[in-house]
Amino acid sequence: MVGELSTSGVLRSIRLIIRDKSVVIGTIMLLSIGLLAVLAPYINIPYFNSMIFPRFSPPSPRNPLGTDHLGRDILARVLWGARISLAIGICAAGLASVIGIVLGSISGYFRSKVGTVIDGLINVFQVIPAFFLALVLLVIFGSSVYLLMLVIAITTWPMIARIMRAQVLSVKERLFVESAKAIGCGDLHILFKHVIPHAIPPALAYTILEIGAAIMMEAGLSYLGLGDPNYPSWGRMIYEGQPYIVSAPWISLIPGAFLVYTVIGVNLVGNGLLRIVNPKLAQR
């Protein structure tokens, strides 16, 4: 019976997702930028660090998005920057989601010393501004793509943990959990088999929003010179074009437009999914 209800709930959620215009539009936006990122190595464009073109060349058939102050092709750098931004955003949000879901579930289900310690850890991380904590960690340990992913995940997991904790506190009071306890199921079995599957949808929906936040954080850190210098980044491109914003505005505006486009797409999908799985959380 529970399996049938779960299946019907999944089908209902799929129908709601398809009917939600913001989710559909956001998905199309993300698929378009994702497709360009995936195809970047196979498109007939120059290497992103090749300085073989005239400097400050405006958009033309030869360089569709123009060139920068070093004679590098903007199109190549923007597409490779999309690969870096999406990879960091998805991996960082995914890792933050795993940390937040596990710790939030334990905190919500076990109201003991372990739960109290995790609650305190969540509060400590939420008091410290995530961007500045990431800034300090990167200054200390250096910059690389993998370190950026790890640092962003470490600094952004608490919100997912709080959402998961609230959901677990609600779900563990339901009748099917009490029934599982009555027939002798252990706490870990109940938590992972019954509680987490019912509590996880809002946390997963919020994880989509965290992808956009991670992309923005990576862009901000790269703008400040803390990104990986071996790969192009939208944030770094915006910074490099800033001195030439009047004479060659395309150097900053084009990567900025790609950044805004991607984050808007992520937010449309994330907010739409939150609205479906938890309208009150979406409003907040």
Per run of 10 residues, the mean pLDDT along the chain (length 284 residues) is: 48 72 91 91 83 90 90 92 91 93 89 82 83 84 85 89 90 83 82 86 88 92 87 92 92 95 94 77 53
User: What is the reported pLDDT for 27?
Assistant: 92
The fold for domain 24-40+65-283 equals MetI-like fold (1.10.3720)
Could you tell me the pTM of the whole model? 0.85
- pLDDT tens digits for 194-220? 888 888 888 888 899 999 999 999 999
Contact predicate 164/200, CB 8 Å? yes
- pLDDT tens digits for 178-190? 888 888 778 888 8
- pLDDT tens digits for 206-263? 899 999 999 999 999 999 888 888 888 999 999 999 999 999 999 999 999 999 999 9
Residue with tokens 């009748």: 175
User: What is the reported pLDDT for 11?
Assistant: 66
Domain boundaries, the chain: 24-40+65-283
